[in-house]
């Protein structure tokens, strides 16, 4: 009897090894055909992936977006052929053998790094190291919060990450693992491909961190195993699933496993093996020499893995059908990122109240008032947070309870001083579904968060950034905290929408546009200093056009004053002074410069108008404004860094005043 069991185990091991070799073979062939790519990681980590997918991962290849699936994040996105091979082998309908053959070619579903918006079955876009593991923290967080709200019969899945040395060297990973450990995200399991090799050579030339100790110090369970031993991998994941902490499994592997001359070296990290080494590696591993060939029995075994999750999915669908119709509709609506009808009603009532009782405060305070209205309409899905600046950012609703490991229904997150980790986690929260995440800090600190913000724009993640202290108007903290180039830098990111509202009504309108945008991120740039409420009507939302005529000229306009945020007040004051001089002038508020420029030509031309003199006023650098005012247009703004002084003194010192705007017009009109 024992002999039979031993034989069965040997056969199982043999089958699993052949299944792992199928990943290795496809990865080697695709990189060789493209003459570009990273074969080393897929070859070294194939055993890890095989154990995870065949024994643990809950998924259905035919329904890759099934809500209660386990998430698998390939943080080491350079090893994309590992993931593409798995999608093909398990039977993802879109990932054909032809797509593998077109690896890294224009228009294929197999780009150099995984793109979730491009290829079904990929959970998040990865490649910039550290982003995947940090995004996964947000996914695990969303799972924990949604499970607490809807119950484990509806929400009960794990988030698995395959991370590399590079992921763990990037600073954002420290922010991410600190948050995950603090929040006790025990359904987050990171499989670390500990191969000891980076592009420059052995990681020892630049790094001597003990990652197991590092993760343990952050509140994780962590252990080292042999990453080529499938039994050890299986046992470690089994232990991780029982832990009350997030888990790191450091899997010691050989990069380029199977390649006789290049395995274990940097040569196999980021370039094709070459014909001779490829042939030798296949012979060494017992893989057929024919490119892109997978034995029928191995492919059949992998396809069985891909279809195995159908039963679990159907059981889940049966459970969700047993929910009350109202609760089920709420769950499904939120996963679609569809906003409740009550949101529009709440903001309409809020704007009506502002017209009756104007709110002359800083736009960060106007935002706080708008959030109170929003929170009544979507109390459980509106998920706010701040990077340790809650009292300054003003994005915590009075009714919001702080999230913690013990209060998973809390809807305000204290991210700590971790701007980058916060923004990466928000990407994961949005991608998971169920919440409308927003995170806050000072606008100047978007510098710390930019890689995650850029990925959000690339993926089309509908997250909101509440960025306060938006100009020299923050005053005494000085040039280190005063953003002058940041509006321009953010506007330069494709698919990033930047709003800089001028008063409480525009703030409400920009919040509505931000929350209803689910195909890309939005920045709300808000002031520290008080501003007057300038709008006198709120029948529609003109902010949707990016700009609109706030105050018309008395007569045929000889000049148009364009301004955003706190400088709209300056434009209105300048218009009055120009009127006294007999110079009719329009004032155009520009809450979103890039949204204005995205309007159809006729609409854009109508808003910009044909007044011969055009002046832009913004307490930031000029970049971007020439598209509105022309290269010969006048600009009243910043040409240097700021200084430390009260806000009023700074605006006068840097010449951002109504008088400066008047002089800019007068010299061109006379």
Name the residues annotated as catalytic: 419
Supply 388's token pair.
């340790």
Say if residue 45 is exposed, middle or buried (CB neighbours under 10 Å; 0-12, 13-18, 19+).
buried
C-alpha gyration radius of the chain: 28
- Which two three-digit tokens encode residue 149? 């709200």
Residue 360, token pair as written in the block:
């002359």
What is the separation of C-alpha 215 from the centre of its chain, rounded to a whole number of angstroms?
23
Decide: 86 and 23 in contact? Cβ < 8 Å. Answer: yes
**Residue written as tokens 């999915």?**
313
Rounded to an integer, what distance in angstroms lies between the CA atom of residue 196 and that of residue 269? 11
**By 3-state DSSP, what share of the chain in percent is helix, strand and coil, each rounded to 5?**
50, 15, 40
**364: which 2 tokens?**
């960060």
Q: Contacts for 2-11 with beta carbons within 8 Å, 24 or more apart?
A: none
Rounded alpha-carbon distances, angstroms, from residue 552 to 231, 302, 574, 587, 593 = 75, 68, 13, 7, 20
Q: Could you give the count of Cα atoms lying within 13 Å of 326 in the half-sphere of its Cβ?
A: 0
CA angle 251–256–259, rounded 5-degree value: 135
- Asked whether 464 and 438 are in contact (CB, 8 A), the reply is yes
d(C-alpha 262, C-alpha 273), whole Å: 8
Sheet order of strands, 247-252 included: 71-74, 159-163, 188-194, 247-252, 221-226
Roughly how many angstroms between the first and final C-alpha of the chain, as a whole number? 105
Give the E-state strand segments of 139-275 in sequence order: 159-163, 188-194, 197-198, 201-202, 221-226, 247-252
Residue 659: CB atoms within 10 Å: 14
Q: Bridge partners of 163?
A: 192
What is the residue whose two structure tokens read 């228009």? 107
Tokens representing 321 are: 């059908």
Tokens at 250, concatenated: 């450091």
How crowded is residue 329: how many other Cβ atoms within 10 Å of its Cβ? 11
Structure tokens at 637: 């703004």
């Amino acid at each position: 009897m024992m002999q039979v069991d031993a034989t069965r185990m040997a056969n199982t091991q043999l089958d699993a090894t052949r299944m792992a070799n199928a990943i290795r073979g496809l990865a080697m062939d695709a990189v060789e055909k493209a003459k570009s790519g990273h074969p080393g990681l897929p070859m070294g980590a194939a055993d890890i992936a095989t154990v995870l997918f065949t024994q643990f991962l809950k998924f259905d290849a035919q329904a890759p977006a099934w809500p209660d699936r386990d998430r698998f994040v390939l943080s080491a996105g350079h090893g994309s052929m590992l993931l593409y091979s798995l999608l093909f082998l398990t039977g993802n309908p879109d990932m054909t053998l032809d797509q593998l053959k077109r690896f890294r070619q224009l228009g294929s579903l197999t780009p150099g790094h995984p793109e979730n918006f491009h290829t079904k079955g990929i959970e998040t876009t990865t490649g910039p190291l550290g982003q995947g593991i940090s995004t996964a923290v947000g996914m695990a967080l969303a799972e924990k919060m949604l499970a607490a709200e809807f119950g484990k019969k509806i929400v009960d899945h794990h988030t698995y990450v395959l991370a590399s040395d590079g992921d763990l060297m990037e600073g954002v990973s420290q922010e991410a693992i600190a948050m995950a450990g603090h929040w006790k995200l025990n359904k987050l399991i990171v499989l670390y491909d500990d191969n000891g090799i980076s592009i420059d050579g052995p990681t020892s030339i630049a790094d001597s961190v003990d990652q197991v100790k590092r993760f343990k110090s952050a509140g994780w369970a962590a252990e080292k195993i042999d990453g080529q031993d499938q039994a050890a991998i299986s046992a470690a994941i089994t232990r991780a699933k029982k832990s009350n902490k997030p888990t790191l499994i450091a899997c010691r592997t050989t990069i380029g496993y199977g390649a006789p001359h290049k395995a274990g070296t940097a040569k196999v990290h980021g370039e094709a093996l070459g014909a001779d080494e490829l042939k030798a590696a296949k012979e060494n591993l017992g893989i057929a020499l024919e490119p892109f060939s997978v034995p029928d029995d191995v492919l059949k075994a992998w396809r069985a893995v891909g279809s195995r999750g159908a039963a679990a999915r159907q059981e889940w669908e049966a459970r969700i059908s047993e929910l009350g119709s109202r609760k089920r509709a709420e769950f499904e609506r939120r996963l679609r990122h569809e906003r409740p009808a009550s949101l529009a009603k709440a903001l309409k009532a809020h704007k009506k109240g502002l017209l009756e009782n104007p709110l002359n405060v800083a736009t960060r305070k106007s935002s706080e008032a708008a959030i109170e209205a929003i929170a009544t309409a979507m109390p459980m899905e509106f998920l706010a947070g701040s990077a340790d600046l809650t009292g300054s950012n003003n994005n915590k609703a009075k009714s919001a309870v702080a999230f913690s490991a013990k209060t998973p229904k809390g809807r305000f997150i204290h991210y700590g001083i971790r701007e980058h980790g916060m923004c990466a986690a928000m990407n994961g929260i949005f991608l998971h579904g169920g919440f409308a995440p927003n995170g806050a800090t000072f606008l100047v600190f978007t510098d710390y968060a930019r890689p995650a913000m850029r990925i959000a724009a690339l993926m089309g993640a509908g997250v909101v950034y509440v960025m306060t202290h938006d100009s020299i108007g923050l005053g005494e903290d000085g040039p280190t905290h005063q953003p002058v180039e940041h509006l321009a830098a953010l506007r330069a990111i494709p698919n990033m929408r930047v709003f800089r509202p001028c008063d409480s009504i525009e703030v409400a309108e920009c919040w509505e546009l931000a929350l209803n945008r689910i195909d890309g991120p939005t920045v709300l740039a808000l002031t520290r200093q008080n501003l007057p409420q300038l709008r006198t009507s709120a029948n529609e939302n003109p902010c949707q056009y990016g700009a609109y005529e706030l105050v018309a000229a008395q007569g045929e306009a000889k000049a148009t004053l364009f301004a955003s945020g706190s400088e709209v007040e300056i434009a209105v004051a300048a218009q009055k002074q120009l009127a006294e001089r007999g110079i009719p002038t329009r004032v155009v508020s520009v809450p979103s410069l890039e949204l204005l420029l995205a309007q159809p030509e006729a609409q854009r031309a109508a808003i910009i108008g044909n007044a011969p003199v055009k002046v832009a006023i913004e307490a930031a650098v000029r970049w971007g404004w020439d598209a509105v005012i022309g290269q010969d247009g006048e600009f009243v703004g910043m040409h240097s860094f700021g200084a430390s002084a009260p806000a009023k003194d700074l605006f006068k010192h840097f010449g951002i005043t109504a008088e400066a705007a008047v002089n800019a017009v007068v010299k061109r009109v006379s």
